[in-house]
Amino acid sequence: MLEWVVEGYGWAWLGYLFVVLLPTAIFVIPFGAYPLLVDRRLRKAGVAVTSVCTDASWSEGRVSEEFHFTTLDGLGAFYRSPLADGRMCRDGERVGIVYDPRAPHRRARTEIELSRKSPARRDLGCGLLLLLLLHVLMLPFVILFAL
């Protein structure tokens, strides 16, 4: 199949697809689409429990907090929040957390995070804008080299 693409349309189309698909796979899906899908799943099918804030880690002036909780099945789990500008709570404070019963270790958010607008919206919008810009910039070169 690759030979058909190269023979029929030239190497320019392969470069075009590489330039467009690579940023999508690296940036748009993991930093924009996936977090929004997790938030949506947690709002629909998440289980709310109480957690305890146990630790905070600072990096480049931003903080990430760790929360330990017990699932309804009795399993111990923890959630580390993404880096934020300020703390949500103090160590030892109880905070509501919503987790996905299918994957409590991988998909959880604090109720505070779910009540705010997700920064993933901005990341998804910027990623899609970047892809549109790449399309606009690359298409003339592809058409020129494919002729």
pLDDT in 10s for each residue of the chain, 147 residues: 455 444 555 666 677 777 777 777 787 888 888 888 888 999 999 999 999 999 999 998 999 999 999 999 999 999 999 888 889 899 999 999 999 999 988 899 999 888 888 777 777 888 888 888 877 887 777 677 666
3-state DSSP helix/strand/coil % of the chain, to nearest 5: 50, 25, 25
What residues pair up with 56 in beta bridges, in sequence order? 65
- Residue 20's pLDDT is what? 74
Torsion of the alpha carbons at 112, 113, 115 and 121, rounded to the nearest 10: 160
Torsion of the alpha carbons at 69, 44, 31 and 61, rounded to the nearest 10: -40
> From CA 45, how far away is CA 42, in angstroms rounded?
5
Find the distance separating the first CA and the last CA of the chain, reported in whole Å: 20
**Residues with Cβ < 8 Å from 24, sequence gap 6 or more?**
127, 131
Please name which of 110, 108, 120 lies closest in space to residue 88, comparing C-alpha atoms: 110
Do 77 and 71 form a contact (C-beta atoms < 8 A)? yes
Do 67 and 81 form a contact (C-beta atoms < 8 A)? yes
Do 79 and 69 form a contact (C-beta atoms < 8 A)? yes
